[in-house]
Chain A
Amino acid sequence: MSSTASVPDAHHGPAITDFKLKNGMQVVVIPDRRTPVVTHMVWYKNGSADDPVGKSGIAHFLEHLMFKGTTKHPQGEFSNVVTELGGQENAFTSMDYTAYFQRVAKEHLGTMMEFEADRMTGLVLSDDVVNPERDVVLEERRMRTDTDPSAQLGEAVAASLFAHHPYGTPIIGWMHEIEGLNREDALNYYRRFYTPENAILIVAGDVEPDEVRALAEKTYGAIPARGEAPQRQRPQEPPIRAARLVSLADPKVEQPTLQRAWHAPSYTTAKPGEAEALELGMQILGAPSTGRLHRTLVMDKRVAVAAGAWYQSTAVDRSRLMIYAVPMPGITLDQLGRDVDAVIKAVAVEGVSDAELRRAKTRLIADAVYAQDSQSMLARMYGSALATGSSITDVQEWPHRVEAVTAEQVREAIRDWLGAPGAVTGYLLKEEAA
């Protein structure tokens, strides 16, 4: 029988307003009147998975270049204005979306909209700004990956898990392809994806929906429609039955680790209730101190010093699940991997207890309440959901759907996805001196 979590507050979330501008741009307003500030975000429905073949890293590179100025506002002007207004700004690129945001006092919302709308179409790039910025990205890659064996293994695991789909390519791109990216690549990509039909405006904060509508119509609304949103054309992953082991040994590694990854449905591709069941299942397996992996591997068998799980549930295409474990001294990664499999199998065969399911539901649904405490977190929650194909209603009704998941659905979801063939295992090992 389904467990009953005590969760009523979650449904009293903020009253969201949403509408479309005439040019097709979607607008979402999230009220938060506790402080006189707003979070202003524009999300484009393209990410690294939409990089053209051979041009990996272009989505992320363009995100950097978007700060280089327009015909109307030369380089530095936008950032200077944000700074002078005491605002914060930044941007990020994921596999499925790219987003730009500013956080400012509420009276400056219109100014932010004017600048952000301007750079949707007005970007100007010269080699003088493109070339040093490419060096910045190369340094970013060196910092994040090329000096860190564990990040290098992570790239190899993803590349093996997604042998065909672009989720297997790092967001920042491969070094040799970043080196070849130029001004033309950036502008071609920009013209294709930076359009009102492909953009979502999210405003969270101390604002009235009517005021946002008026400002949005004046700024973003003045951008001509392009006809229709660009299509995401991505090769889909074939079923791969072969289990794969990728292993990286480096003299810098002092602490071996194990990771294992599987394909998993995202909220966008899942059958009804399936992603929610997986979310609960991964919570039951991987919660930091109460999860099965921690209990079994760390506390009972004492074969691991840490173990956990991760599910990338927000994605356009089929996504991934990951389990990691750090062995106790003297325990091999092979042995640890078998222990991980036994924990998964126990859930897949015998299922989860009512108490476990109730705790997992309480935890997940409380997170939805805690998220209401942060307007920028709310803005990100709605932005990432909408940019990957979910609706506002989907987000609002999420606590109800989590509540409705049964123990049997959790068992089936774990059995179907973590029991499937074709997992990729990653070993991070110390390279011993020859």
Chain B
Amino acid sequence: MNAHVPVTSHASRIQRVISPGGIEAWLVEDYTVPLIALEFAMEGGASQDPQGRAGLANMLASVIDEGAGPYDSAAFHERLDEFAIELHFRADRDQFTGQLKTLTKHRAEAFDMLRLAINEPRFDTEPVERVRAQIVAGLRQEMNDPDSMAGRAFFATAFAGHPYANPVRGTLETMPTITRDDLVAMRQACFARDRLKIGVVGAIDAKTLGFALDETFGALPANAKLNAIPLIVPHGTGMRELIDLDIPQSSVRFGAPGLLRTDPDWVAAVVVNHVLGGGVFSSRLFREVREKRGLAYSVYSQLVPFNHAGLYIGGTSTKNERVKESLDIIGAEIASLAKDGPNEDELSTAKKYLIGSYALRFDTSTKLADQLVRLQVEELGMDYMDRRNGLVAAVTREDATRTAKRLFGEGQFLATIVGRPAGL
């Protein structure tokens, strides 16, 4: 190890573990608490759902721990409980993620349960039908929930004609059509070693982890068979879509094309978004919409770096009488940032926050394991945790102004509004 690396360096704590079978994981060894946290991600996710089968990847994530190998659903869950093993899977639009947490003393059992779930899921009829009914009930519960409705409408319009338009959890129409064969086929196509990224934190050494990686992931096929997903620039900028619902307060989503994660201006965009609506108490939207005028409890904006699209999206909820006022203010702030960028004070405050708060992002084993996976997925390199604050510090007013223009263009955005707003 380089003697000049300070002991506080994050990168110096990360070990690149290559198993005897050639599987890579990034490990931070830590024995403070007797536990091990592992996260893995495989590219794919809901954007791989076949036509008319929206919700398949999410359903796969929901049934994969409902029985595997010798254990039916009941026995599988009892065994997890027996050893207090936490095992969770989820699918988002771009990837399939698994999280394992175990007490050190149950390490062998925990890795074995993970191995069974991803290699030998049973997809028995009872759990498949039960999980389907649960997802359908959840979709019904959200059918008339204003915030969910605004989100669904936004994605349907912004990504019309693209897989990202489909709700990750499917619809009442698609969920009944998903078959066991669909689940089997998706697992075979997407679960593979070539798109697998693994992060591990806790009480385990590199050698032990290496063997565990081979046992857990070694039997997966070498290469995934993914459908190519086209790049898309979100549609609908300048549009307002109104959905009627009899409630006293309207839910609003707004957004427009953003930047890809690989964009050279990405870090500047994070700073600009922080100024607009990323900071909790310090953002322009918080100040103008909430603090000064009391228009809303919650107002935010965020950058969403999908693999195949850049997006910025925000939201708020305001009583029907004042929706127009809120939208006007949000529009004015976006337009002002597009025109002039953040001022010196805003820029400096945002940078200081982003730099100082970076360490809070990985103060638990689970969060650090997630961070290790993100670094690999985004191909940022093992030293990124040490480089990142320097990148933020280097963002100039010129960078921020240029990037704000690229992000917000003429200040136009797509807005989806659910409620009975007055005067729109």
- The stretch among A118-126, A142-150, A222-230 that forms the contact with chain B is A142-150
Q: Is the CB of B297 within 8 A of A136?
A: yes
Q: Are B363 and A37 in contact (CB under 8 A)?
A: yes
Number of residue pairs spanning A and B whose beta carbons lie under 8 angstroms apart: 179
In the complex, A295 Cα to B74 Cα: how many Å?
8
B378 within 8 A of A: no
* CB pair A87 B357 closer than 8 Å: yes
Bound complex: CA A84 to CA B30 (Å) = 30
A35 to B360, CA, bound (A): 9
Write the nearest CB–CB distance from A22 to chain B, whole angstroms: 33
Q: Decide if B77 touches A289 in the complex (CB within 8 Å).
A: yes
Q: A34-B363, A84-B349, A252-B245 are in contact. Are A79 and B137 (CB under 8 A)?
A: no
Give the complex CA separation of A137 and B144 in angstroms: 23
Query: Chain A 27-45, CB within 8 Å of chain B: the 1/0 string?
Result: 0000011111100000000
Return 7 A-B CB contacts under 8 Å, by A number. Answer: A133-B294, A139-B294, A143-B249, A255-B141, A287-B81, A299-B130, A302-B130
Is A83 in the interface zone, CB < 8 Å from B? yes
CB pair B364–A86 under 8 Å, yes or no, is: no
Minimum distance in angstroms from A211 CB to a CB of chain B: 19
**Binary interface encoding of chain A residues 4-29 relative to chain B, with 1 for a CB under 8 A from any of its CBs, else 0:** 00100100100000000000000000
Name which of A80, A366, A367 has the most chain B CB atoms within 10 A of its CB.
A366
A35 touches B363 (CB 8 A): yes
| B144 surroundings in chain A (CB, below 8 A) | 251-254
Q: Are A132 and B293 in contact (CB under 8 A)?
A: yes
Q: Is B248 among interface residues, defined by CB-CB distance under 8 A?
A: yes
Docked pose: A286 CA to B74 CA in angstroms = 14
* Chain B residues, CB < 8 A from A79: 281-282
Residues of A within 8 A of B358 (CB): 86
Q: Which residues of B contact A236 (CB under 8 A)?
A: none
* Residues A136 and B294 in contact, CB atoms below 8 Å apart: yes
Distance of A301 Cα from B392 Cα, bound (Å): 57
Pick the 7 closest A-B CB pairs, nearest first: A86-B356, A135-B294, A366-B84, A132-B294, A140-B297, A252-B144, A255-B140
Residues of A within 8 A of B8 (CB): 36
Cβ–Cβ < 8 Å partners of A372 in chain B: 33
Query: How long is the Cα–Cα vector from A57 to B101 in the complex, in angstroms?
Result: 39
The DSSP consensus for interface residues of chain B is mixed
Most central of B144, B245, B246 by chain A CB within 10 Å: B144
- The complex places the Cα of A6 from the Cα of B145 at a distance, in Å, of 44
Q: Are B137 and A305 in contact, with the CB atoms below 8 A?
A: yes
Sorting the interface of chain B by its residue count into under 10, 10 to 19, 20 to 34 or 35 or more gives 35 or more
Considering the complex, give the chain B residue whose CB is closest to the CB of A75. Answer: B291
CB distance from A243 to the nearest CB of B (A): 26
The residue that B352 contacts in the complex, of A85, A137, A299, with Cβ under 8 A, is A85
The yes or no answer to B295 lying at the interface (CB within 8 A) is yes
B35 contacts A362, C-beta separation under 8 Å: no
Which chain B residues (46-99) contact chain A, with CB distance < 8 Å? 73-74, 77-78, 80-84, 86
Q: Given A67-B281, A139-B296, A143-B249, decide whether A254 and B352 contact each other with a Cβ distance below 8 A.
A: no
Option from A146, A254, A290, A369 in Cβ contact (under 8 Å) with B140: A254
- Closest B residue to A146 using CB positions: B248
Residues of A within 8 A of B80 (CB): 289
A9–B105 Cα gap in the complex (Å)? Answer: 10
- Give B129's nearest chain A residue, CB to CB: A302
**Contact between chains at A306 and B248 (CB < 8 Å):** no
Contacts of B279 in A (CB 8 A): 83
